[in-house]
Amino acid sequence: MTRRYVVIGNGIAGQTCAEELRKADTEASVVMIAAERHPLYNRVALPRYLRGQVRREKVLMRTVEDYARQNLEIHFETWATEIDARGKVVHTNRGQEFPYDALLIATGGRPKPPPWPGSDEVSACLGFQTLDDTDAILEKADACERVLVMGGSFIGYELAEGVSFRKKSKLTWIMRGPWFLRYVLDEEGGRLCRQLGEAQDVQFLVSDEVERFGRTNGRFTARTVNGHTVDFDLLTYGVGLDYYTEPTRDTGIELNKGIVTDSKLRTSAPDVYAAGDIAVFYDLMVERHNQMGTWDNAEAHGKVAARNMAGASEDFFDVPTYTTTMFGSTLAVMGVTPDVQPDLESVRTFSFEEKFYRKLFFKDDRLVGAIMIGPPKGRKKLIEIMRSRQVIERPKEELLDPTNLK
């Protein structure tokens, strides 16, 4: 009998899973449910698109014809409303019913709404999650005098870096913490980020937050707790995601912000798997449940989920990585960092004059994570050490020098 697979979500986790399932079984039914109107596009490329370094057509990774060629049945602008885990059927907002033998949930998340008082009165307010978001930011930011960015996360940084790089409008970046990525970087790392940003004319307001929004002479204003007033024309922000778990209600699937899985990406419901940002998976690297929002982690999830949906029993183990520009320099993050695994041991080195910073994280004398600002020399070797899970017996500080990694 022909196997029936349903994949909810056509980000890189869902797309990879569907294509791997098709490679493994040319006869199987593979149905994809996609909330957006676009075929797969490269979310990692959105910051480069925002900076103007890559054309829009280069962001797109698939065409509608690609799905037809691979015999993947995809339904755009459609979302799952209910999963009947007993009957093994997915229901959609369009009244469709898709039976499955194995199901992947790779729905990711949507930006949390702005939490600041009065932000609902700021008509020019945009998150940064999708291709459509990026198009809207480009249109508005290039035409206005000042952009306000709020949030000290990766999203806040990518917005600040992207808009300032274009040099079309002035930019103010407000964050609640004392520096960018306060749970990962320490004071010196945050200071270097600020040094690089101010060299690109970014105005930083740190350890501060907006108390209220208003309008003055036709422009928006933000008044902060510390008494600053910022006039602006466009508000962009990044304050985290709400994960799309609504279809799992009444299924018995365990939730903890996202969807909890074991190391094989299986949920607590039979033949239901989760992958990508939404998966709170048992991470063998740190021997606890973990949630990762990186592209390569989601892609690797998609491959393992596909194999297990087709009958394998494979554990997921990988080292997630994230690399981007940083105000003319480079930011690279690998493995596990203190925001998801507190109390890691660490060593670091930095130079404000030479504009570099690197910090390594250890658990039980194993290298589990790293963050670098500046040339990412030795990055691949550090990832190899993390994957090997070897106990570090030499002084850990030696790993900070790339010449010691050869």
> Would you say residue 385 has pLDDT above 90?
yes
The pLDDT score that the predictor gives to residue 309 is: 98
- What is the rounded average pLDDT for all residues in the chain? 94
> Would you say residue 375 has pLDDT above 80?
yes
* CATH 3.50.50.60 correct for 4-110+241-309: yes
Q: What is the mean pLDDT of residues 241-269?
A: 96
Report pLDDT digits (tens) over 152-172.
888 999 999 999 999 999 999
Model-wide pTM > 0.95: no
Q: What is the mean pLDDT of residues 238-253?
A: 93
Report pLDDT digits (tens) over 11-52.
999 999 999 999 999 999 999 999 999 999 999 999 999 999
> Would you say residue 1 has pLDDT above 80?
no
SS (H, E, C) the chain: CCCEEEEECCCHHHHHHHHHHHHHCCCCEEEEECCCCCCCECHHHHHHHHHCCCCHHHHECCCHHHHHHCCCEEECCCCEEEEECCCCEEEECCCCEEECCEEEECCCEEECCCCCCCHHHCCCEECCCCHHHHHHHHHHHCCCCEEEEECCCHHHHHHHHHHHHHCCCEEEEECCCCCCCCCCCCHHHHHHHHHHHHCCCEEEECCCCEEEEEEECCEEEEEECCCCEEEECEEEECCCEEECCHHHCCCCCCEECEEECCCCCECCCCCEEECHHHEEEEECCCCEEECCCCHHHHHHHHHHHHHHHCCCCCCCCCCCEEEEEECCEEEEEEECCCCCCCCCEEEEEEECCCCEEEEEEEECCEEEEEEEECCCCCHHHHHHHHHHCCECCCCHHHHHCHHHCC
Report pLDDT digits (tens) over 262-303.
999 999 999 999 999 999 999 998 889 999 989 999 999 999
Say whether 119-237 and 4-110+241-309 share the same fold. Answer: yes
> Would you say residue 190 has pLDDT above 90?
yes
**Residue 116: pLDDT band with limits 50, 70, 90:** confident
Class of the CATH-defined domain 321-404 = alpha beta
**Residue 95: pLDDT band with limits 50, 70, 90:** very high
The pLDDT score that the predictor gives to residue 240 is: 86
Class of the CATH-defined domain 119-237 = alpha beta
In the chain, domain spans: 4-110+241-309, 119-237, 321-404
The pLDDT score that the predictor gives to residue 125 is: 94
Report pLDDT digits (tens) over 201-243.
999 999 999 999 999 888 999 999 999 999 999 999 998 899 9
The pLDDT score that the predictor gives to residue 392 is: 94
The pLDDT score that the predictor gives to residue 398 is: 94
The pLDDT score that the predictor gives to residue 342 is: 86
